[in-house]
Amino acid sequence: MKKTYALLLFIFTSSNLFAGNKIKCYFNRPVDNSVSTGVNAQYLNNCSADTLVAFLSRAKYSLDICVYNFVSYSSASTDNGVKIANAVNAAYLRGVKVRWIYEASNSNSGLPLLNTGIHTLGSPQGSNYTIMHNKFVIVDANSTNQNDAYVWTGCMNWDDEQFNSDYNNIVIVQDSALAHAYLGEYNMMWGDTGVVPNTTVSKFGQYKTNLGRHSFTIEGNQVELYFSPSDNTDSHIQSSISSANTDMYFGVYTFTMNTDASLIVSKYNSGVYVAGIDDSYSNSYSPYTTFTSGLGSHFKVFTETSSTIYHNKFLIVDPSDVCSDPLVLTGSHNWTSSANTHNDENTLIIHNDTFANLYYQYFKASFTTLGGVLTPINGCGHAIVPVNNDFLNNVNIYPNPSTGEYSIQFQLTDAIIANIEVFNVIGKKVETLLTNTELLYGNYTLQGRIAIQGIYFVKFSIGNSVYFKKLVIS
């Protein structure tokens, strides 16, 4: 019964994002697929560096690398630093335009392995700067084929401990508009659009400006992008926290913003199910006390060892409630004042219930390892009645987001009585497309129209089963 439920939920809540594979995430520490809603989170078991090498090797025209630290430990061909440098050098030798930005205060011991023809730029140092803390790569942003454009981001620095031991997550997005937004930020730091940096006009840290490219629609899902310190990222962290209606989970390496911590505890006190993980590095800051007193056993601390830290910086909102606005916030941005006001950082907010569940699978594995216990939460999405037969297949709502008019395509595998209705986020019915209608086996297309902008949920009552799919009117 549970397996059938997971399959059905996957069909109806993840088809937009994952059928086209435009957004992917990976984790370098174990995940718990037992709580999957149909798509299993992927654990890169000591192969994060090889995944990065494969990503770098796909570049045809341009490779813009912006990474806090790149470490090589030996000259052996099996060394991860050597493999990464070889992939970048090979791209350069086949004519790819390669640029590299790094944090100048770090060793970056892998940089000498690069071809001497590759230009690099270290971030400026001094009292007016903090650190260039990004970890992103842009591939082929300006290709005439928009499908060539990719972004790699997350919280992982490029060294063996970060690849294999420290807790990290990776996001890969195939989208030309998002790649161009990252490229605009990159060019501002580089000071030029060409292969040679221009340090007289390049901008880092507090000298950067807000380029205004923040909202994207990728296969029907809203994706937000913010750079620090120009975009007031912490305000968007707080907005994401405030949006939680049912459950919320966080995992953050350095957490010093007590305003954020207090907001999390207030959501917990209001009835939202909340659990979180911090690294022990944050024990000396006030959020630690706020969480230990406010969340109790729902808060766990990862104790650092000589070779392992909890390096994530993510928030998961409403993964158990498809009728809310499930999202994941992740990136390089620790929840600190320095990250918000000085450091060069990037943050993605991805609105999608399946993506939120993928991160929940990762969070649950880590939380359980730390001795924590999570209670299953019943949100709207989990109120679905499981059945033993799949009557409804291949559901697609398009365009989604829509400006008002939209179409619903679906396939029935048997004759059945169907009701299809649309509800707003407070549960009010706004449109009825089918009422107790007997439909035969086959393919169907329905048209609808909603005049008011917002998030809606299409409810499919098929026989004795109920399914939901999100619709956005923008």
Residue 17 confidence (pLDDT) above 70? no
> Which domains, ranges and CATH numbers included, belong to the chain?
20-384 (3.30.870.10), 387-473 (2.60.40.2550)
| Greatest mean pLDDT among 14-18, 111-115, 213-217 | 111-115
pLDDT of residue 52: 98
Q: Looking at the DSSP assignment, which residues form a beta bridge with residue 302? A: 279
- Lowest-confidence segment of 92-106, 115-129, 451-465 by average pLDDT: 451-465
For residues 291 and 262, what is the distance between their CA atoms, to the nearest angstrom?
8
For residues 342 and 139, what is the distance between their CA atoms, to the nearest angstrom?
27
Residue 174 confidence (pLDDT) above 80? yes
Mean pLDDT, the chain, rounded, equals: 90
What would the mean pLDDT of 175-201 be, rounded to a whole number? 98
Question: How many other CB atoms sit within 10 Å of the CB of residue 195?
Answer: 13
Q: Which token pair is 396?
A: 């697609």
Residue 5 confidence (pLDDT) above 60? no
pTM as predicted: 0.81
Q: Which token pair is 148?
A: 């060539």
Residue pLDDT, tens place only, 332-361: 999 999 999 999 999 999 999 889 999 999
Residue pLDDT, tens place only, 252-305: 999 999 999 999 999 999 999 999 999 999 999 999 999 999 999 999 999 999
Q: Which amino acid is at 361?
A: Q
The percentage of residues in the chain with a pLDDT greater than 90, rounded to a whole number, is 74
Q: Which token pair is 129?
A: 């700067």
Task: Decide: residue 30, CB within 10 A, 0-12 exposed, 13-18 middle, 19+ buried.
Answer: middle
What would the mean pLDDT of 27-49 be, rounded to a whole number? 94
- Lowest-confidence segment of 115-129, 248-262, 404-418 by average pLDDT: 404-418
pLDDT of residue 13: 33
Q: Which token pair is 296?
A: 């109790």
Residue 110 confidence (pLDDT) above 60? yes
Q: Which token pair is 155?
A: 């919280």
Strand order in the sheet with 392-398: 392-398, 405-412, 442-449
Q: Measuring CA to CA, how many Å separate 368 from each of 250, 292, 363?
A: 14, 17, 8
Q: Which amino acid is at 13?
A: T
Q: How far apart are the two ends of the chain, measured CA to CA in Å?
A: 37
pLDDT of residue 231: 98
Residue 19 confidence (pLDDT) above 50? no
Strands 23-27 and 392-398: unpaired
pLDDT of residue 426: 66
pLDDT of residue 207: 96
What would the mean pLDDT of 38-45 be, rounded to a whole number? 93
Rg of the chain taking only CA atoms, in angstroms: 23
pLDDT of residue 146: 95
pLDDT of residue 390: 55
Residue pLDDT, tens place only, 412-458: 888 889 899 998 866 778 999 999 998 888 889 999 999 998 888 88
What would the mean pLDDT of 57-68 be, rounded to a whole number? 98
Residue 409 confidence (pLDDT) above 90? no
What would the mean pLDDT of 144-168 be, rounded to a whole number? 97
What would the mean pLDDT of 387-409 be, rounded to a whole number? 76
Residue 387 confidence (pLDDT) above 50? no
Q: Which amino acid is at 429?
A: K
Q: Which token pair is 169?
A: 């997550």
Strands 454-462 and 345-351: unpaired
pLDDT of residue 219: 82
Q: Measuring CA to CA, how many Å separate 37 from each of 49, 274, 356?
A: 28, 20, 10
Residue 176 confidence (pLDDT) above 90? yes
> Angle CA(407)–CA(410)–CA(416) in degrees, nearest 5?
125
Q: Looking at the DSSP assignment, which residues form a beta bridge with residue 158? A: 70
Q: Measuring CA to CA, how many Å separate 9 from each of 325, 361, 362, 377, 471?
A: 16, 16, 19, 15, 16
What would the mean pLDDT of 39-49 be, rounded to a whole number? 95
For residues 73 and 408, what is the distance between their CA atoms, to the nearest angstrom?
54
Q: What does the CA dihedral 177, 179, 181, 183 come to, rounded to 10 degrees?
A: -140
Instruction: Give the pLDDT band (50/70/90) at residue 391.
Output: low
Residue 408 confidence (pLDDT) above 60? yes
Is 106 within 8 Å of 144 (Cβ atoms)? Answer: no
